[in-house]
Amino acid sequence: MLKFNRNQAVPVTASDYTEREMGKAIGGCSTKNTMNVPVYSPSELLDRINDLRRPWHKNYLAMYSSVWKGIVTDPVLMAVPVDDHLVHRSDGVFEVFKCLNGKAYRLAAHLERLQRSAAALGLKMPEEFPGMVDIIKAAVQAGGVRDVIIRLMISRGPGGFSTNPYECPASHLYVLIYKIKTPAKEEYENGVEIISSEVPVKTAFFANIKSCNYLPNVLVKKEAKDAGVDFAVTWDEEGFLAEGSTENIILVSPEREMLIPSFDRVLRGTTVLRVAELAQVLVDEGMLTAVRTAQIDRQTARACPEAMLCGTSLDVLPVAKWDGRPVGDGRPGQVARRLLELLREDVAKNEDMLTPMFD
């Protein structure tokens, strides 16, 4: 387990336990061979393929893999080699974006960020990259569903279990297509509750790379779920607001400024960047006075009458309660509602940002 404080995470080590306690922790395992562990041949494992299916597999529609050099639609086959650096070192980058009504939203922006992230890690693009758009289209079509999430992952590739990146002969590409899951209608109507996380934020270098090392993000989400809510947001060691597990956060100040936490140690979300552009409409309408990034301390955050989360699957989700306190009057505000309308209209109708996935 980990104990969080503002400066460090302190692990509880094996030396903190007696031998007896360690024995209990591993379930009283003995060195005697009491289990008959099967060893399968490829054909025998293939015969068991139906036994390997799980209920959640129904959401997985298709996957392109550099391993297969093609697409599979059976979730049991949607696997990554165990010696891929993506698996044992989190050595890779990824992007996630949505496809609604058969059209991918902001595909070009996501591919550009994917390249930037890979370049920052000295990760070569896989040989399939020039045909990436065709591969994505083929995978979406193979999935047969028009409203999906598209996840792109580029790994250092397989080839060993050390930290040496040069043991991998070539980068690998994985394109996963799965069903989209969005918050319930009631959450947009009533707002959601969030908490402040104690998980330390990433350094600037890692915060601005969309790498596959998402352990801090996982712990932020765990902290939220353990507290009985769905979302948590982080603060840096100087007390400034950062981001959520996979979401950016937006505030509206008493002066009607739309405030986005500075991107120094926050990922530049493609959705929040687009929302900031769309928010200029609200400035023109007089609903907002300005749109800007800022270093936001707790006092400033508590004074804001509106807060909202922003991300690929959320769009713009209003926050009604934060650390047990109501945000504003505890109901979604006008800015959140208007931004949600503008973004959803953009996703549905802005042909300049939509890439058809079906002919």
Catalytic residue of the set 98, 202, 210, 221: 210
Return the structure tokens found at 63. 């996957």
Other beta carbons within 10 angstroms of residue 199's beta carbon come to 22
The amino acid sitting at 138 is A
Task: List b or e across 333-354, with b for residues whose CB sees 16 or more CB atoms inside 10 angstroms.
Answer: bebbbbbbebbeebbeeeeebb
Angle between helices 270-278 and 334-349 (to 10 degrees): 110
Gyration radius of the chain's alpha carbons = 23
Query: CA-to-CA distance for 104 and 49, rounded, in angstroms?
Result: 32
Instruction: Round to whole Å and give the CA distance between 68 and 78.
Output: 10
Residue 187, H or E segment: helix 185-190
Measured CA to CA, the distance from residue 243 to residue 261 in angstroms comes to 8
> Looking at the chain, how many residues does it have?
359
Cβ-proximal residues to 190 (8 Å cutoff; 6+ apart), any chain: 320, 331, 332
C-alpha distances (whole Å) from 286 to each of 16, 81, 177, 273, 336 are 60, 54, 41, 20, 15
> Is 210 a residue of the active site?
yes
DSSP 126: P
Catalytic residues: 210
